[in-house]
Amino acid sequence: MTMSDSPLLSVVIPAYNYAATVARAVESVLVQLPDANAELLVIDDGSTDQTPQVLSSLQEKFPGSFRMLRKENGGLASVRNRGIDEARGDFLIFLDADDEMAPGALSALTEHLKANPQSRLVIGAHWSVFESGKRTLHEVAPLPESPYERVRGYLIDKRVALSNGACAMHRDVFGPGRYPERFRSVEDIPVFAQVLARFPCSVVQQPLALIHKHSTSLRHNLTYARAVGLSLVDEVFSPARMPSELQRLKTAYKAQRCLSLFRTCLLAGDQENAREYYREALRTDWRVLLKWSYTRKAVRLWLH
């Protein structure tokens, strides 16, 4: 493939202060490129560690094999949006800089898309890799046929799971809306929801990514979760993203989002806001009482 050709697949790796792992991510893709109609683009989001030096060393080690861009820090959503503009492929795969592309993933995606040319989102299996070294394979359940059931399964019932790195999206799917750059977390939820609502989707059982699980700061997660808060609900259900016939899911999703924030606050020890989010969930839809895992936590919170 020459630089003038348009590849089928573009793997985009956003990198911000991932000097310790970005080489692993890059090399997991590079090893697959000779046999794939694909390119690799790495975008450094203004890293302050050794990430730029690591990427420069990789370009010297693998000359001409991938493109690298550096931008001012703007958050993950801004990197993904830059990737949409800069990538030359029809389908984009956003691989986190601390994860890996699974062996054979690009070939499997190419074959799947040949057999399913109408698909605009391909969801693959993936491996979860834990700090202990343990690995767990997450297979893909068959997708519901109707957009309503797909969106409900993703947002509310949690029966449809998507992970960056383990899915490929056609660039057409970003037409209704891109990644909201005012969000510093959960920026992918509005995009995944709009794709499930508006575009043909398919699944492939081949593992596409190795997703590394890390112990992270609950307080750090809480900061981002509270910053986004319930504004995520309005973003997901903005008319441009969500068709009118699916707007009836908004109330149920607001209740589910309240429960998610309740759990995040509770785990981080923020009992006051945990109580308020659970109250808001009840005000939104009393049937949250039937979600026993949350109800038990709420009862224990009020009793102590």
pLDDT in tens, 206-219: 999 999 998 664 54
Has residue 1 been placed in a domain? Answer: no
Tens-place pLDDT, residues 29-64: 999 999 999 999 999 999 999 999 999 999 999 999
Q: Identify whether residues 271 and 178 lie together within a single domain.
A: no
Q: What is the Cα–Cα distance from 146 to 167, expressed in whole angstroms?
A: 19
Mean of per-residue pLDDT scores for the chain = 94
Q: Identify whether residues 121 and 56 lie together within a single domain.
A: yes
Q: Identify whether residues 263 and 293 lie together within a single domain.
A: yes
Q: Identify whether residues 199 and 249 lie together within a single domain.
A: no
Q: Identify whether residues 151 and 256 lie together within a single domain.
A: no
Has residue 112 been placed in a domain? Answer: yes
Has residue 2 been placed in a domain? Answer: no
Could you say which of 185, 212, 239 is where a domain stops?
A: 212
Q: Identify whether residues 139 and 258 lie together within a single domain.
A: no
What pLDDT, on a 0 to 100 scale, did the predictor assign at position 214? 80
Q: What is the Cα–Cα distance from 70 to 267, expressed in whole angstroms?
A: 36
pLDDT band at 174 (very low <50, low <70, confident <90, very high): very high
Q: Identify whether residues 146 and 194 lie together within a single domain.
A: yes
Has residue 3 been placed in a domain? Answer: no
Collapse the DSSP code of 77 into the 3-class scheme (helix H, G, I; strand E, B; otherwise coil) and give the result.
Answer: helix
Q: What is the Cα–Cα distance from 261 to 187, expressed in whole angstroms?
A: 15
Q: Identify whether residues 196 and 225 lie together within a single domain.
A: no
Q: Identify whether residues 208 and 131 lie together within a single domain.
A: yes
Tell me the average pLDDT across 187-196.
97
What pLDDT, on a 0 to 100 scale, did the predictor assign at position 3? 45
Could you say which of 212, 242, 257 is where a domain stops?
A: 212
**Domain span at 268:** 218-303
What pLDDT, on a 0 to 100 scale, did the predictor assign at position 220? 54
Could you say which of 148, 179, 212 is where a domain stops?
A: 212
Tell me the average pLDDT across 167-185.
96
AA identity, residue 67: R
pLDDT band at 304 (very low <50, low <70, confident <90, very high): confident
Instruction: Supply the DSSP string of 199-241, one letter for each residue.
Output: S-EEEEEEEEEEEE-----HHHHHHHHHHHTTHHHHHHT-TTT
Q: Identify whether residues 104 and 165 lie together within a single domain.
A: yes
Tens-place pLDDT, residues 99-144: 999 999 999 999 999 999 999 999 999 999 998 889 999 999 999 9
- CATH label of the domain that carries residue 75: 3.90.550.10
Q: Identify whether residues 119 and 186 lie together within a single domain.
A: yes
Residue that has been written with the tokens 């054979």 in this structure: 104
pLDDT band at 194 (very low <50, low <70, confident <90, very high): very high
How many residues appear in the chain? 304
What pLDDT, on a 0 to 100 scale, did the predictor assign at position 222? 82
Tell me the average pLDDT across 232-238.
98
Looking at the structure of the chain, the number of domains it has is: 2
Tell me the average pLDDT across 2-10.
76
Residue 268, pLDDT > 60, answer yes
What pLDDT, on a 0 to 100 scale, did the predictor assign at position 4? 45
